[in-house]
Structure 1
Protein backbone atom coordinates (compact mmCIF):
# COMPACT_ATOMS: atom_id res chain seq x y z
CA UNK A 1 0.00 0.00 0.00
CA UNK A 2 1.13 3.54 -0.67
CA UNK A 3 1.49 6.06 2.14
CA UNK A 4 -1.78 7.68 1.08
CA UNK A 5 -3.59 4.32 1.11
CA UNK A 6 -2.23 3.56 4.58
CA UNK A 7 -3.35 6.93 5.89
CA UNK A 8 -6.81 6.53 4.35
CA UNK A 9 -7.13 3.01 5.79
CA UNK A 10 -6.25 4.33 9.25
CA UNK A 11 -8.82 7.12 9.01
CA UNK A 12 -11.52 4.70 7.92
CA UNK A 13 -10.43 2.18 10.55
CA UNK A 14 -10.51 4.83 13.29
CA UNK A 15 -14.10 5.69 12.34
CA UNK A 16 -15.07 2.00 12.31
CA UNK A 17 -13.46 1.39 15.72
CA UNK A 18 -15.27 4.40 17.19
CA UNK A 19 -18.53 2.97 15.81
CA UNK A 20 -17.65 -0.42 17.36
CA UNK A 21 -17.24 1.25 20.75
CA UNK A 22 -20.57 3.09 20.36
CA UNK A 23 -22.32 -0.11 19.34
CA UNK A 24 -21.00 -1.76 22.51
CA UNK A 25 -22.60 0.95 24.68
CA UNK A 26 -25.86 0.69 22.74
CA UNK A 27 -25.88 -3.10 22.98
CA UNK A 28 -25.33 -3.04 26.75
CA UNK A 29 -27.85 -0.28 27.44
CA UNK A 30 -30.52 -1.70 25.12
CA UNK A 31 -29.82 -5.36 26.05
CA UNK A 32 -29.38 -5.98 22.33
CA UNK A 33 -27.83 -9.45 22.59
CA UNK A 34 -27.44 -10.05 18.82
CA UNK A 35 -25.64 -6.71 18.44
CA UNK A 36 -23.42 -7.45 21.45
CA UNK A 37 -22.53 -10.90 20.07
CA UNK A 38 -21.53 -9.35 16.72
CA UNK A 39 -18.82 -7.23 18.39
CA UNK A 40 -16.69 -10.19 19.53
CA UNK A 41 -15.17 -13.37 18.04
CA UNK A 42 -14.40 -16.81 19.39
CA UNK A 43 -10.88 -15.78 20.42
CA UNK A 44 -12.03 -12.61 22.24
CA UNK A 45 -12.04 -12.03 25.99
CA UNK A 46 -13.52 -9.48 28.42
CA UNK A 47 -12.34 -8.98 32.00
CA UNK A 48 -12.52 -6.43 34.77
CA UNK A 49 -9.45 -5.50 36.79
CA UNK A 50 -11.33 -6.30 40.02
CA UNK A 51 -11.91 -9.89 38.82
CA UNK A 52 -15.72 -9.72 38.94
CA UNK A 53 -16.13 -9.96 35.17
CA UNK A 54 -14.43 -12.65 33.14
CA UNK A 55 -15.56 -13.94 29.77
CA UNK A 56 -13.29 -16.08 27.59
CA UNK A 57 -14.36 -16.88 24.03
CA UNK A 58 -17.60 -15.79 22.44
CA UNK A 59 -19.89 -18.07 24.47
CA UNK A 60 -18.06 -17.27 27.70
CA UNK A 61 -18.43 -13.55 27.02
CA UNK A 62 -22.12 -13.90 26.26
CA UNK A 63 -22.74 -15.92 29.44
CA UNK A 64 -20.89 -13.31 31.48
CA UNK A 65 -23.15 -10.57 30.05
CA UNK A 66 -26.23 -12.70 30.65
CA UNK A 67 -25.33 -12.82 34.35
CA UNK A 68 -24.72 -9.07 34.36
CA UNK A 69 -28.03 -8.33 32.63
CA UNK A 70 -29.90 -10.51 35.16
CA UNK A 71 -28.97 -8.13 38.02
CA UNK A 72 -28.82 -4.86 36.07
CA UNK A 73 -31.81 -2.67 35.46
CA UNK A 74 -31.59 0.51 33.47
CA UNK A 75 -28.07 1.50 32.43
CA UNK A 76 -26.59 4.36 30.45
CA UNK A 77 -22.99 4.44 29.18
CA UNK A 78 -21.26 7.52 27.76
CA UNK A 79 -17.90 7.38 26.10
CA UNK A 80 -15.73 10.46 26.10
CA UNK A 81 -12.22 10.56 24.74
CA UNK A 82 -10.75 7.56 22.97
CA UNK A 83 -7.09 6.89 22.23
CA UNK A 84 -6.48 4.51 19.31
CA UNK A 85 -3.01 3.29 18.35
CA UNK A 86 -2.50 1.30 15.16
CA UNK A 87 0.08 -1.46 15.06
CA UNK A 88 2.68 -0.34 12.50
CA UNK A 89 3.53 -3.97 11.71
CA UNK A 90 -0.08 -5.21 11.36
CA UNK A 91 -2.77 -3.08 9.63
CA UNK A 92 -5.46 -5.35 11.10
CA UNK A 93 -4.55 -4.70 14.76
CA UNK A 94 -4.96 -1.67 17.01
CA UNK A 95 -5.07 -0.94 20.72
CA UNK A 96 -7.01 1.69 22.55
CA UNK A 97 -8.15 3.25 25.76
CA UNK A 98 -11.75 4.42 26.12
CA UNK A 99 -12.77 6.88 28.86
CA UNK A 100 -16.38 6.49 30.06
CA UNK A 101 -19.06 7.27 32.59
CA UNK A 102 -21.99 5.04 33.42
CA UNK A 103 -25.18 5.14 35.44
CA UNK A 104 -26.86 1.88 36.30
CA UNK A 105 -29.39 0.21 38.52
CA UNK A 106 -27.92 -2.99 40.00
CA UNK A 107 -30.07 -5.01 42.38
CA UNK A 108 -32.41 -2.00 42.75
CA UNK A 109 -29.51 0.28 43.76
CA UNK A 110 -28.67 3.35 41.63
CA UNK A 111 -24.93 3.47 40.89
CA UNK A 112 -22.64 5.88 39.08
CA UNK A 113 -19.25 5.00 37.71
CA UNK A 114 -16.24 6.38 35.93
CA UNK A 115 -14.30 3.79 34.00
CA UNK A 116 -11.76 3.02 31.33
CA UNK A 117 -11.53 0.19 28.87
CA UNK A 118 -8.13 -1.00 27.70
CA UNK A 119 -8.91 -2.57 24.34
CA UNK A 120 -7.32 -4.57 21.58
CA UNK A 121 -9.09 -4.39 18.23
CA UNK A 122 -8.67 -6.79 15.32
CA UNK A 123 -9.96 -6.70 11.77
CA UNK A 124 -11.11 -9.85 10.04
CA UNK A 125 -12.85 -10.05 6.69
CA UNK A 126 -12.86 -6.25 6.57
CA UNK A 127 -14.69 -5.82 9.91
CA UNK A 128 -13.21 -4.58 13.21
CA UNK A 129 -14.09 -6.38 16.46
CA UNK A 130 -12.97 -6.47 20.10
CA UNK A 131 -10.14 -8.96 20.60
CA UNK A 132 -10.03 -7.97 24.28
CA UNK A 133 -11.51 -5.50 26.75
CA UNK A 134 -10.15 -4.86 30.23
CA UNK A 135 -12.51 -2.77 32.36
CA UNK A 136 -11.05 -0.57 35.12
CA UNK A 137 -13.03 1.59 37.54
CA UNK A 138 -12.03 4.96 38.94
CA UNK A 139 -15.22 4.70 40.99
CA UNK A 140 -18.44 2.68 41.00
CA UNK A 141 -20.62 3.87 43.86
CA UNK A 142 -24.21 4.32 45.02
CA UNK A 143 -25.30 7.75 43.82
CA UNK A 144 -25.91 8.99 47.38
CA UNK A 145 -22.27 8.12 48.29
CA UNK A 146 -20.65 9.84 45.32
CA UNK A 147 -19.32 12.98 47.05
CA UNK A 148 -17.75 11.11 49.96
CA UNK A 149 -16.52 8.16 47.88
CA UNK A 150 -14.65 10.25 45.33
CA UNK A 151 -12.30 11.46 48.10
CA UNK A 152 -11.79 7.93 49.45
CA UNK A 153 -9.43 5.22 48.18
CA UNK A 154 -12.35 2.75 48.55
CA UNK A 155 -14.21 3.95 45.46
CA UNK A 156 -15.71 0.68 44.25
CA UNK A 157 -18.85 0.24 46.31
CA UNK A 158 -21.24 -1.36 43.89
CA UNK A 159 -20.72 -4.76 45.47
CA UNK A 160 -20.83 -6.18 48.99
CA UNK A 161 -17.27 -5.26 50.05
CA UNK A 162 -15.81 -1.82 49.24
CA UNK A 163 -12.61 -1.98 47.20
CA UNK A 164 -10.02 0.55 46.05
CA UNK A 165 -10.40 2.14 42.63
CA UNK A 166 -8.43 0.41 39.87
CA UNK A 167 -6.72 3.68 38.97
CA UNK A 168 -5.19 6.32 39.08
CA UNK A 169 -3.09 5.31 42.09
CA UNK A 170 -1.76 2.25 40.22
CA UNK A 171 -0.45 4.34 37.31
CA UNK A 172 3.29 5.13 37.27
CA UNK A 173 2.46 8.64 36.06
CA UNK A 174 0.24 9.21 39.12
CA UNK A 175 2.90 8.21 41.62
CA UNK A 176 5.91 9.56 39.73
CA UNK A 177 4.78 12.86 38.28
CA UNK A 178 6.72 14.97 40.76
CA UNK A 179 10.07 13.71 39.41
CA UNK A 180 9.41 15.66 36.23
CA UNK A 181 9.55 18.90 38.23
CA UNK A 182 12.86 18.17 40.03
CA UNK A 183 16.04 19.88 38.90
CA UNK A 184 17.94 17.58 36.49
CA UNK A 185 20.78 16.91 38.93
CA UNK A 186 18.27 15.55 41.49
CA UNK A 187 16.67 13.19 38.91
CA UNK A 188 19.91 11.23 38.34
Structure 2
Protein backbone atom coordinates (compact mmCIF):
# COMPACT_ATOMS: atom_id res chain seq x y z
CA UNK A 1 0.00 0.00 0.00
CA UNK A 2 1.23 3.48 -0.82
CA UNK A 3 2.42 5.29 2.37
CA UNK A 4 0.17 8.32 1.74
CA UNK A 5 -2.89 6.11 1.33
CA UNK A 6 -2.00 4.24 4.51
CA UNK A 7 -1.68 7.55 6.37
CA UNK A 8 -5.08 8.71 5.07
CA UNK A 9 -6.71 5.43 6.09
CA UNK A 10 -5.26 5.65 9.60
CA UNK A 11 -6.52 9.24 9.91
CA UNK A 12 -9.95 8.15 8.74
CA UNK A 13 -10.03 5.37 11.35
CA UNK A 14 -8.99 7.84 14.07
CA UNK A 15 -11.68 10.32 12.99
CA UNK A 16 -14.27 7.55 13.05
CA UNK A 17 -13.20 6.52 16.55
CA UNK A 18 -13.54 10.14 17.74
CA UNK A 19 -16.95 10.45 16.06
CA UNK A 20 -18.08 7.30 17.88
CA UNK A 21 -16.75 8.78 21.14
CA UNK A 22 -18.81 11.96 20.62
CA UNK A 23 -21.94 9.94 19.83
CA UNK A 24 -21.36 7.65 22.82
CA UNK A 25 -21.28 10.76 25.03
CA UNK A 26 -24.73 11.79 23.75
CA UNK A 27 -26.14 8.33 24.37
CA UNK A 28 -24.63 8.14 27.86
CA UNK A 29 -25.97 11.59 28.76
CA UNK A 30 -29.47 10.95 27.42
CA UNK A 31 -29.82 7.53 29.04
CA UNK A 32 -28.23 8.65 32.35
CA UNK A 33 -25.62 5.91 31.86
CA UNK A 34 -22.98 7.07 34.31
CA UNK A 35 -20.65 4.07 33.91
CA UNK A 36 -20.53 4.60 30.16
CA UNK A 37 -19.99 8.35 30.60
CA UNK A 38 -17.06 7.82 32.97
CA UNK A 39 -15.38 5.47 30.46
CA UNK A 40 -15.29 8.23 27.82
CA UNK A 41 -12.90 10.54 29.71
CA UNK A 42 -9.24 10.12 30.58
CA UNK A 43 -8.67 10.08 34.36
CA UNK A 44 -6.98 13.51 34.27
CA UNK A 45 -9.46 15.09 31.83
CA UNK A 46 -10.97 18.55 32.32
CA UNK A 47 -14.66 19.36 31.86
CA UNK A 48 -16.12 22.87 31.72
CA UNK A 49 -19.89 22.52 31.77
CA UNK A 50 -21.22 25.92 32.78
CA UNK A 51 -22.47 26.17 36.35
CA UNK A 52 -22.10 22.41 36.81
CA UNK A 53 -18.38 21.96 36.28
CA UNK A 54 -15.07 23.74 35.86
CA UNK A 55 -12.26 21.37 36.64
CA UNK A 56 -11.51 17.68 36.66
CA UNK A 57 -14.03 15.68 34.69
CA UNK A 58 -14.14 13.02 37.42
CA UNK A 59 -15.51 15.66 39.82
CA UNK A 60 -18.22 16.54 37.27
CA UNK A 61 -18.97 12.83 36.75
CA UNK A 62 -19.31 12.33 40.52
CA UNK A 63 -22.01 15.06 40.57
CA UNK A 64 -23.72 13.97 37.35
CA UNK A 65 -26.35 11.67 38.93
CA UNK A 66 -27.58 14.57 41.10
CA UNK A 67 -27.41 17.02 38.17
CA UNK A 68 -29.45 14.73 35.93
CA UNK A 69 -31.92 13.51 38.59
CA UNK A 70 -34.53 16.23 37.85
CA UNK A 71 -34.16 15.82 34.06
CA UNK A 72 -37.11 13.88 32.72
CA UNK A 73 -35.88 14.25 29.13
CA UNK A 74 -32.39 14.73 27.73
CA UNK A 75 -31.94 14.56 23.97
CA UNK A 76 -28.55 15.51 22.48
CA UNK A 77 -28.20 15.84 18.70
CA UNK A 78 -24.85 16.31 16.97
CA UNK A 79 -25.13 18.32 13.78
CA UNK A 80 -21.66 19.41 12.58
CA UNK A 81 -18.36 17.83 13.55
CA UNK A 82 -15.06 19.54 12.70
CA UNK A 83 -11.99 17.47 13.62
CA UNK A 84 -8.26 18.08 13.28
CA UNK A 85 -5.73 15.34 14.07
CA UNK A 86 -2.09 15.64 15.14
CA UNK A 87 -0.74 12.19 15.94
CA UNK A 88 -2.24 10.92 19.20
CA UNK A 89 -4.07 14.14 19.93
CA UNK A 90 -6.94 15.87 18.21
CA UNK A 91 -9.29 18.81 18.54
CA UNK A 92 -12.94 19.05 17.66
CA UNK A 93 -15.64 21.67 17.40
CA UNK A 94 -18.91 19.77 17.79
CA UNK A 95 -22.22 21.52 17.09
CA UNK A 96 -25.18 20.29 19.08
CA UNK A 97 -28.83 20.86 19.79
CA UNK A 98 -29.86 19.54 23.20
CA UNK A 99 -33.38 19.31 24.61
CA UNK A 100 -33.80 19.29 28.39
CA UNK A 101 -37.08 18.80 30.22
CA UNK A 102 -36.51 19.50 33.90
CA UNK A 103 -38.67 18.96 36.97
CA UNK A 104 -38.65 21.90 39.38
CA UNK A 105 -40.71 22.66 42.49
CA UNK A 106 -43.07 24.63 40.24
CA UNK A 107 -43.45 21.84 37.64
CA UNK A 108 -41.82 20.84 34.37
CA UNK A 109 -39.98 23.32 32.13
CA UNK A 110 -38.09 22.91 28.84
CA UNK A 111 -34.75 24.30 27.70
CA UNK A 112 -33.62 23.76 24.13
CA UNK A 113 -29.97 24.71 23.67
CA UNK A 114 -27.99 25.22 20.50
CA UNK A 115 -24.30 25.24 21.12
CA UNK A 116 -20.93 23.66 20.61
CA UNK A 117 -18.53 21.42 22.44
CA UNK A 118 -14.91 22.53 22.19
CA UNK A 119 -13.02 19.28 22.63
CA UNK A 120 -9.46 18.08 22.98
CA UNK A 121 -8.99 14.34 22.57
CA UNK A 122 -6.03 12.10 23.29
CA UNK A 123 -5.31 8.59 22.14
CA UNK A 124 -3.71 6.62 24.96
CA UNK A 125 -3.05 2.89 24.81
CA UNK A 126 -4.77 2.90 21.42
CA UNK A 127 -8.05 4.42 22.68
CA UNK A 128 -9.39 7.92 21.99
CA UNK A 129 -11.01 9.66 24.98
CA UNK A 130 -11.84 13.20 26.04
CA UNK A 131 -8.91 15.12 27.51
CA UNK A 132 -10.76 18.45 27.77
CA UNK A 133 -14.39 19.32 27.01
CA UNK A 134 -15.95 22.78 27.19
CA UNK A 135 -19.54 23.72 26.35
CA UNK A 136 -20.39 26.92 24.50
CA UNK A 137 -24.04 28.04 24.40
CA UNK A 138 -24.92 29.88 21.20
CA UNK A 139 -28.67 30.16 21.86
CA UNK A 140 -31.38 28.81 24.13
CA UNK A 141 -35.15 28.56 23.98
CA UNK A 142 -37.02 28.07 27.26
CA UNK A 143 -40.64 27.08 27.81
CA UNK A 144 -42.01 27.36 31.34
CA UNK A 145 -44.25 25.45 31.80
CA UNK A 146 -43.13 22.61 29.54
CA UNK A 147 -44.61 22.41 26.06
CA UNK A 148 -43.66 18.72 25.60
CA UNK A 149 -46.71 16.45 25.22
CA UNK A 150 -45.87 12.77 25.34
CA UNK A 151 -49.60 12.02 25.72
CA UNK A 152 -50.46 13.54 22.33
CA UNK A 153 -52.62 11.15 20.21
CA UNK A 154 -50.00 11.20 17.44
CA UNK A 155 -47.67 9.25 19.78
CA UNK A 156 -50.30 6.64 20.67
CA UNK A 157 -48.77 3.16 20.69
CA UNK A 158 -45.19 4.43 20.32
CA UNK A 159 -42.44 3.49 22.70
CA UNK A 160 -41.53 6.48 24.89
CA UNK A 161 -37.88 7.12 25.73
CA UNK A 162 -36.86 7.25 29.37
CA UNK A 163 -33.68 8.12 31.21
CA UNK A 164 -31.91 5.17 32.75
CA UNK A 165 -32.10 1.42 32.32
CA UNK A 166 -35.87 1.44 31.68
CA UNK A 167 -35.39 3.00 28.23
CA UNK A 168 -36.88 0.74 25.51
CA UNK A 169 -33.51 0.52 23.73
CA UNK A 170 -32.04 -1.65 26.49
CA UNK A 171 -34.69 -4.32 25.99
CA UNK A 172 -34.41 -4.09 22.20
CA UNK A 173 -30.67 -4.25 21.52
CA UNK A 174 -28.34 -7.19 22.04
CA UNK A 175 -25.13 -5.45 20.91
CA UNK A 176 -25.60 -1.91 22.26
CA UNK A 177 -25.42 -2.52 25.98
CA UNK A 178 -25.74 -0.16 28.91
CA UNK A 179 -22.37 0.92 30.33
CA UNK A 180 -20.53 0.08 27.10
CA UNK A 181 -19.20 2.31 24.38
TM-score by length of structure 2 reads: 0.71
Deviation track 1:86-141 (CA, whole Å, cap 9, x = no partner) reads 12xxx110001000101111232111110100000111111110111110111233
Separation of aligned partners in 1, 2:44 and 2:77 = 27
Partner of residue 92 from structure 2, selected from 83, 93, 96: 96
Q: By how many angstroms is 1:23 displaced?
A: 0.4
From the two aligned structures, give the one with the greater helix fraction.
Answer: 1
Separation of aligned partners in 1, 2:46 and 2:129 = 11
* Conserved? CA contact 2:119–2:132, under 8 Å: yes
Separation of aligned partners in 1, 2:63 and 2:131 = 16
Higher relative contact order (CA 8 A, sep 6+): 2
Map 1:11-160 to 2 at 5 A: 11-48=12-49, 51-54=50-53, 56-87=55-86, 91-107=87-103, 108-143=108-143
Q: Secondary structure of the equivalent of 1:103?
A: strand
Q: Secondary structure of the equivalent of 1:61?
A: helix
Give structure 2 stretches of 5+ with no counterpart: 146-181
Question: Which has the larger Rg?
Answer: 1
From the two aligned structures, give the one with the greater strand fraction.
Answer: 2
Q: By how many angstroms is 1:79 displaced?
A: 0.3
Give structure 1 stretches of 5+ with no counterpart: 146-188
* Conserved? CA contact 1:74–1:104, under 8 Å: yes
CA RMSD in angstroms comes to 2.0
TM-score by length of structure 1 reads: 0.68
